[in-house]
A and B are shown apart, each in its own frame.
Chain A
């Protein structure tokens, strides 16, 4: 082979390599695009809910609450019959079966919705108000265009009569889509139109906070000690190898640990963010220690020597100079570790966080779900409402992860100081 041929061959190899690289990046981007497109197209409708504008006549006698009822009186009263009567007015019929079908257009919580409105607006007594009441899941899907109307009547969940009522209401602009605040404030529910991620959001928040409070200080101190102070001998070597191994242990094993020790032996409350946080912090610890040690190691030894040479003690050299310089890497490592913990499902299933929890937790000791577990739970439900909610929850989860990663990148860039 002549020299010229060799050079040509070299250039060709380089071009080929670049081409392969571009192809693989494009492939990866294509899959990311398909994933995001799929989730967004399925999930974005979950951020809206269908409401039926219903005339409610808050007649004093019909309410039967007496004169000047207080907020508590309203909330404790029984307004079921009152609510039913008002709902039936949207399409008057005299058949009991038909009446029932009309009520099924609404979400089963209509009495509570009316009560809450009244409790917050006591001055409407004696007036007629148009309220936006949440529709049932089927009507919601019908309104969003996801419902198979063309199927024969015995194969769909909405009867011909209900379709007729819906179309009439729709033509009179009594059906509209509004922002789904329930999705963010409510806990789980058997009715898709009422189910929300409020409970799992709080659960995830408490879990990640506990995980942060437990794992961050321990990981930082452990990595500083191991990197800066510990003698290099057999024991520290074994510890180091084990930390690296622990970071690779499947997360479900930590779930078993949490189940065995925290729940069965120490009898901590089941399904709580407390247990989840402790379990996840065990999992996160090695994953934080490794980047922390790496960033400590990356601080040039000349900085340590410079500090020692002006008479700083080892402790001062480490805490005045090395640790601040390692901070960006340490913080971003911690955030990435927490982001992993936020997305973890398997260990939480083992410690009972798959429970169906309706109430939004107010403390880490309340039973709760978490975002990824909520995705898991809803993905098993057949209702169309849950399908879109599953995707919407994934969007929320991905959103949080992206935000956390951005914070990590930002911290790294903002505080990274250059030496030499």
Chain B
């Protein structure tokens, strides 16, 4: 918060899906080791924006991205940037928990395996344990690591996905409405976890819940119709927003 170092900054970011423009000149900075919440009504471009950060939009054929996103000073949209390396640094947690239909252990071990991070089985065991501990899941699953990841409850699955995301030791974690499919207790656990993870990672979270944004984030950005209306400290946005639209949205007058 104070003297925060900028991790990621977007510059005049425009995104098109075919002929439809989804983002308009988004200029936004994300600070290191901070949680930034992105709020706004459905279809306002929050998810589109975070999917630009790990270039997940590349998968969508009709999607076109213009403008630059700089991470540690390097434009990730440059031709020379390897998407695989980028995604190693920028992990992502999705709206719906999507563990691989493999064992809990293999879910975590997959990333490190393909990146060749570990040399032997012992190191892998250690890494899996660490990731599960960081994701506050270890105690619940330590006796059944070989069971399928899909056999866990929704909240556990989402924490497994978070563990999977941190298994490749990223610098940034993107979370696309990670709690929208979860009940309040599971949500509380995830929020606690996010607070903990903030010490190590830069986190961006898209959420529809104002309360959640207030609880977990230090800075909040408000999107509307593809434009970034304003971004400021969470405290300021919710107590004294600079824009009327933000005021209307957070007080539930529209959206």
Partner of B94, one of A232, A302, A311, A321: A302
Pairwise interchain contact B165-A309, C-beta atoms closer than 8 A: yes
Q: Is the CB of A305 within 8 A of B84?
A: no
Q: How far is the CA of A419 from the CA of B101 in the complex (A)?
A: 6
Instruction: Judge if B85 is at the interface, Cβ distance under 8 Å.
Output: yes
Q: List residues of B (83-101) whose CB comes within 8 Å of A's CBs.
A: 83-85, 87-88, 91-92, 94, 96-101
Cross-chain contact A308 with B114 (CB below 8 angstroms): no
Q: When the two chains form their complex, are residues B61 and A232 in contact, meaning their CB atoms are under 8 A apart? A: yes
Q: Contact between A312 and B94 (Cβ–Cβ < 8 Å)?
A: no
On whether A311 and B115 interact (CB within 8 A), knowing A302-B94, A418-B101, the answer reads yes
B132-170 CB contacts (< 8 Å) to partner A? 148, 150, 161, 164-165, 167-168
A355 proximal to B (CB < 8 A): no
A300 contacts across to B, CB distance below 8 A: 98
Give the distance in Å from the alpha carbon of A133 to the alpha carbon of B118 in the complex: 73
A310 touches B98 (CB 8 A): no
Scoring A residues 398 to 420 as 1 if CB is less than 8 Å from chain B, else 0, what string do you get?
00000000000000000001111
Residue among B91, B92, B114, B165 with max Cβ neighbours from chain A (10 Å):
B114
B100 partner, pick from A231, A306, A308, A316, beta carbons under 8 A: A306
Would you give the 0/1 interface string for A296-321, flagging 1 where the beta carbon is closer than 8 Å to chain B? 00001011111111111100100011
One of B85, B101, B165 near A310 (C-beta < 8 A): B165
Q: Select B96's contact among A302, A304, A307, A418, beta carbons within 8 Å.
A: A302
What sequence of 0s and 1s flags, for each residue 203-233 of chain A, a beta carbon within 8 Å of any chain B beta carbon? 0000000000000000000000000000110
- Please tell me the size bucket of the interface on B: 20 to 34
Q: Which residue on B lies nearest to A309, using beta carbons?
A: B92
Bound CA–CA A297/B110 (angstroms): 23
Complex Cα–Cα for A303 and B97 (A): 10
In the complex, what distance in Å separates the CA atom of A302 from the CA atom of B52?
Answer: 17
* Residue contact A306 to B84, C-beta cutoff 8 Å: no
Chain B residues with Cβ below 8 Å from A303 are: 98, 100-101
Q: Considering the complex, which residues of chain B in the window 18-68 have a beta carbon less than 8 Å from any beta carbon of chain A?
A: 54, 56, 59, 61
Query: Given the complex of chains A and B, what is the CA–CA distance between A104 and B180 in angstroms?
Result: 87
Q: Which A residue sits closest to B86, measured CB to CB? A: A311
Establish whether residues A420 and B96, one from each chain, have CB atoms under 8 Å apart when the complex forms: yes
Q: How distant is the Cα of A307 from the Cα of B99 in the complex, in angstroms? A: 9
> Which residues of chain A are near B150, meaning CB under 8 Å?
417-420
Give every chain B residue within 8 A of A321 (Cβ-Cβ): 100
Q: A305-B56, A306-B161, A418-B150 are in contact. Are A311 and B100 (CB under 8 A)?
A: no
| CB-based contact B92/A311 at 8 Å | no
Decide if A348 is an interface residue (CB 8 Å cutoff). no
Q: Which of A231, A308, A320, A419 contacts B87 (CB 8 A)?
A: A308
If A305-B59, A306-B164 touch, does A311 touch B98 (CB 8 Å cutoff)? no
Q: Using CB atoms, name the residue of chain A closest to B87.
A: A311
B82 to chain A, nearest CB (A): 9
User: How near does chain B come to A239, taking the closest CB pair, in angstroms?
Assistant: 16
Residue of A nearest to B99 (CB): A306
Q: Please give the distance in Å from B225's CB to the nearest CB on chain A.
A: 25
- CB within 8 Å of B: which A54-84 residues: none
Q: Whole-angstrom distance from the CB of A362 to the nearest CB of chain B?
A: 45
Query: Quick check: B101 and A304 within 8 Å, CB to CB?
Result: no
Whether B87 and A309, one on each chain, are in contact in the complex, defined by CB atoms closer than 8 angstroms, is: yes
A325 within 8 A of B: yes
A304 near B100 with CB under 8 A, answer no
A302-B96, A306-B164, A420-B96 given as contacts; is B101 within 8 A of A311 (CB)? no
Q: Is the CB of B110 within 8 A of A310?
A: yes
A417 contact set on B, CB distance < 8 A: 101, 148, 150
Say whether, besides A232-B61, A418-B150, A420-B150, A309 and B54 are in contact (CB < 8 Å).
Answer: yes
A192 to B162, CA, bound (A): 72
**B111 engages A311 (CB within 8 Å):** yes
A310: chain B residues at CB < 8 Å are 87-88, 91, 110-111, 114, 164-165, 167-168
B205 to chain A, nearest CB (A): 15
Give the Cβ gap from A324 to chain B, nearest Cβ, in Å: 9
User: In the bound complex, do residue B101 and residue A325 qualify as a contact, i.e. CB atoms below 8 Å apart?
Assistant: yes
From known contacts A231-B61, A303-B100, A321-B100, infer whether A312 and B114 are also in contact, taking CB-CB under 8 Å.
yes
| Chain B nearest Cβ from A197, distance in angstroms | 44
Give the residues in chain A near B114, CB-CB below 8 Å. 310-312, 316, 320
Could you write out 27 A-B pairs with CB less than 8 Å apart? A302-B98, A303-B98, A304-B59, A305-B56, A305-B94, A306-B94, A306-B100, A306-B164, A308-B56, A309-B54, A309-B87, A309-B91, A309-B94, A309-B165, A310-B87, A310-B91, A310-B167, A311-B87, A311-B88, A311-B111, A311-B115, A311-B168, A312-B111, A316-B114, A417-B148, A420-B96, A420-B97
A-B contacts besides A302-B96, A306-B100, A311-B115, 16 pairs, CB < 8 Å: A300-B98, A304-B59, A305-B94, A305-B98, A306-B98, A309-B56, A309-B92, A309-B94, A310-B87, A310-B91, A310-B111, A310-B165, A310-B168, A312-B111, A325-B101, A420-B97
Binding site for B on A (CB under 8 A): 231-232, 300, 302-313, 316, 320-321, 325, 417-420
